[in-house]
Chains A and B, each alone.
Chain A
Amino acid sequence: MGAAPASRDVTSYGMGLAAPLALFFLVFFVAPLLQLFWLSLHNDTAGLHWGLGQYLHFLTDPFSLGVLGSTLLLGAEVTAVCLLLGFPIAWLYQRVGPKLQTIIILIVLLPLLTSVVVRTFAWIVILGRQGIINATLQSLGIIDTPVKLLYTQFGVVIALAQVQMPLMTLPLITALGRIDPNLDDASCSLGAGSWRTFFRVVLPLSLPGVIAGCTLTYAAAITAFITQSLIGGGQMLFMPMYLYQQASTLQNWPFAAAISIIFLLAVLAVVSVFTTLGRMSRGYGGA
């Protein structure tokens, strides 16, 4: 009895509690975003003439579109590497004893406790001409001249994958932890091999974690200004650097604003694809 009024009370109470946060978002997130959008609708740097010139400039320029494309591709590559390396770790975590679990979680979390700048500089030391990799390969006689690793797409992907790895591994650990271990046994007892069990049972059930991890890793990888510019160097241009160049060096704020809006929309599009996949996977997992 009285269930309906009670539940209404709960909702209204919740709204009141959410108000400060909503106000905070409104003032510090929505308002600046609107201001940014308003700024992007100007054709000149002084912001006097209205128009869609900045968007036209970006969308009709193969170079700018190329920067956007390579940034989105970079995100996809980093996400793929993180998923391929992160999944086994998360899987292992669920199958070892508590002592090893602590060690694994420590290894996963450790990078988060170091500054991104420090980690990125460490990668410069590792990937450099006289870095650890090149020095080892040379001393083993595998190569004669140093391989170029720094300032390459490969270097950026590897460094970003390491930096963003926790964002992939943690949701995976959570998702795999939710799967009832009995399902594995059930699958085996019904005659499925371990690979079949993995692909038909474990993987589908872990999809929500995979989707969450991919979304986080992707968003973090494509916006990682420091790692991109230090490992990629000054000649490899991704969206964050492009934005910085236009806003800071050239003081061309309307174009910079248009770039950010386009970048934001592109990221939202990718993230919504992930979420749609996530929704489908829930249906699949439940089926």
Chain B
Amino acid sequence: MILNRRSLLTTALTLGATKAFPGMSFAQARPLVFATFTGSWEEAHKAVLVPAFRKANADAAIVLDPMLSVDQIAKVNAAKANPPIDVMLHDPGPALVAVGQDLVEPYPVEKSAYYKDLIAEAQEPMGPAPFFQVVGLTYNPEAVKTPPTSWADLWKPEFKGRVGITNLNSTLGTGWLVEIAKMRGGSETNVDPGFKALEELKPNLAAVAANPGALATLFQQGQIDISPGNFNAIQILKARGVPVEFVAPKEGAIAFKTTIHIVKNSPNRELAFKLIEAAMTPEVQTTLMNPPYLIVPTNSKVTMGGEIARVLAKDTTELKKKFVFQDWKKINEQRSAWIERFNREIKI
């Protein structure tokens, strides 16, 4: 494009006009923007969810914009009147932040064909949870001969210098801290026992990874042999031939609801709804449950199978029994204080 005075002026005027009248800006002019997570999530959504949505909606234009939950919130927050994203994907902590900052719309439950089929824990009126992430113990079966059964196994002397954890920047790290606090008599409002347990874990700690992704590579390097870890992340490593196994601890595997939301003021509200509907259909959920994605289904009409049935749960009843859901509303209230405390206390 040649930049002359006229085109400059047009651009300036357009920019000014969109600022002055946000409602009129590019209504329907852009494709549906779906902010998913990076990595395996992006792959799964690109391969399964997007084609299903396009098939059901006359090839409607859709763009995937993979980024972290917190970045999605920042991006929408910066342009509330004319958000650059239509559908957001969130872990439980950020989901509450997004709702609290008034960035998402209530889900039109009465219009939805699949909402009522979701298991009760997944029915969130501000944005349903079509996916679960499950956190349990991950270990290297070549180095750890007896599979661990409890979070408490991480403190065993035989794992001196071989345990990995992540810091509290991630949902994984924060959720796990709450769980070990619970194991020692604490709760979402009292994580002191958790921090005390971390202090005792120090001799065993080989690494505090900056994020769950970095934790996964440490298994590949043999830097760590056991850690709290995400079921899906482990499946990807396994598929690449890394010796690593997942086990749900007897205290219960932590389940994070991954909720999906319509962004407030989205110009593509209707399509956003359709995308979320597609994510809840038994067909999409079944495909995502199978290899290589192994995402735990939340639609109760989907029969569990394969690796998920073997390692996690055979059906939704067992799933509810084995999974632990945490109160992220309470967690969020104190999370910054915990992060600060972790920064100060955990030096290895």
Measured CB to CB, the residues of A under 8 A from B are 63, 121, 124-125, 128-131, 148, 150-151, 229-230, 232-237, 241-242, 244-245, 247-252
Residue contacts A-B, CB under 8 angstroms, 29 given: A63-B343, A121-B217, A124-B221, A128-B221, A128-B222, A128-B223, A129-B222, A129-B223, A130-B222, A130-B223, A229-B210, A233-B208, A233-B209, A233-B210, A234-B165, A234-B169, A234-B214, A235-B208, A235-B346, A236-B347, A241-B210, A245-B169, A245-B343, A249-B168, A249-B169, A250-B335, A250-B339, A251-B70, A251-B73
Instruction: Give chain B interface residues in 241-270, CB to chain A under 8 Å.
Output: none
Contact B74–A129 (Cβ < 8 Å): no
Q: A250-B339, A251-B70 are in contact. Are A235 and B347 (CB under 8 A)?
A: yes
Q: A128-B222, A248-B74 are in contact. Are A63 and B344 (CB under 8 A)?
A: yes
**Top 10 A-B residue pairs of the complex, sorted by shortest distance between their CB atoms:** A234-B167, A235-B208, A234-B208, A229-B210, A130-B222, A248-B70, A128-B221, A234-B210, A249-B169, A250-B336
Contact A124–B217 (Cβ < 8 Å): yes
Task: Write out the residue numbers on chain B whose beta carbons fall within 8 Å of the beta carbon of A229.
Answer: 210, 214
Contact A150–B210 (Cβ < 8 Å): no
Task: Write out the residue numbers on chain B whose beta carbons fall within 8 Å of the beta carbon of A63.
Answer: 340, 343-344
Specify the main secondary structure of chain B where it touches its partner: mixed
Closest B residue by C-beta to A61: B340
Contact A248–B71 (Cβ < 8 Å): yes
Contact B336–A252 (Cβ < 8 Å): yes
Is B166's CB within 8 Å of the partner chain A?
yes
How many residue pairs link A and B with beta carbons under 8 A? The number is 77
Task: Write out the residue numbers on chain A whose beta carbons fall within 8 Å of the beta carbon of B161.
Answer: 148
Task: Write out the residue numbers on chain B whose beta carbons fall within 8 Å of the beta carbon of A234.
Answer: 165-167, 169, 173, 207-211, 214
* Cα distance, A251 to B169, chains bound together (Å): 12
Contact A249–B210 (Cβ < 8 Å): no
Task: Write out the residue numbers on chain B whose beta carbons fall within 8 Å of the beta carbon of A248.
Answer: 68, 70-71, 74, 169
Is B206's CB within 8 Å of the partner chain A?
yes
Task: Write out the residue numbers on chain A whose beta carbons fall within 8 Å of the beta carbon of B221.
Answer: 124-125, 128-131
* Cα distance, A235 to B169, chains bound together (Å): 11
Classify chain B: how many residues form its interface, as a range.
20 to 34
Task: Write out the residue numbers on chain B whose beta carbons fall within 8 Å of the beta carbon of A233.
Answer: 207-210, 214
A71 to chain B, nearest CB (A): 14
| Residue from B68, B214, B339 in contact with A230 in the complex, judged by beta carbons closer than 8 Å | B214
Is B97's CB within 8 Å of the partner chain A?
yes
Q: A233-B210, A234-B208, A235-B208 are in contact. Are A245 and B339 (CB under 8 A)?
A: yes
- Give per-residue flags for B194-237: 1 if the beta carbon is below 8 A from chain A beta carbons, else 0: 00000000000011111100100100011100000000000000
Interface centre among B165, B221, B335 (most CB of A within 10 A): B221
* Cα distance, A145 to B153, chains bound together (Å): 23
Instruction: Give chain B interface residues in 285-331, CB to chain A under 8 Å.
Output: none
A59 to chain B, nearest CB (A): 16
* Cα distance, A48 to B69, chains bound together (Å): 25
* Cα distance, A233 to B340, chains bound together (Å): 16
* Cα distance, A252 to B340, chains bound together (Å): 13
* Cα distance, A124 to B210, chains bound together (Å): 13
Closest B residue by C-beta to A229: B210
Task: Write out the residue numbers on chain B whose beta carbons fall within 8 Å of the beta carbon of A128.
Answer: 221-223
Is B348's CB within 8 Å of the partner chain A?
yes
Contact A235–B167 (Cβ < 8 Å): yes
Task: Write out the residue numbers on chain A whose beta carbons fall within 8 Å of the beta carbon of B339.
Answer: 245, 249-250
Contact A150–B223 (Cβ < 8 Å): yes
Task: Write out the residue numbers on chain A whose beta carbons fall within 8 Å of the beta carbon of B222.
Answer: 128-130
Task: Write out the residue numbers on chain A whose beta carbons fall within 8 Å of the beta carbon of B167.
Answer: 234-235
* Cα distance, A170 to B73, chains bound together (Å): 42
* Cα distance, A47 to B211, chains bound together (Å): 29
* Cα distance, A280 to B296, chains bound together (Å): 66
A260 to chain B, nearest CB (A): 15
Task: Write out the residue numbers on chain B whose beta carbons fall within 8 Å of the beta carbon of A121.
Answer: 217
Task: Write out the residue numbers on chain A whose beta carbons fall within 8 Å of the beta carbon of B173.
Answer: 234
Task: Write out the residue numbers on chain B whose beta carbons fall within 8 Å of the beta carbon of A237.
Answer: 343
Task: Write out the residue numbers on chain A whose beta carbons fall within 8 Å of the beta carbon of B344.
Answer: 63
- Give per-residue flags for B53-87: 1 if the beta carbon is below 8 A from chain A beta carbons, else 0: 00000000000000010110110000000000000
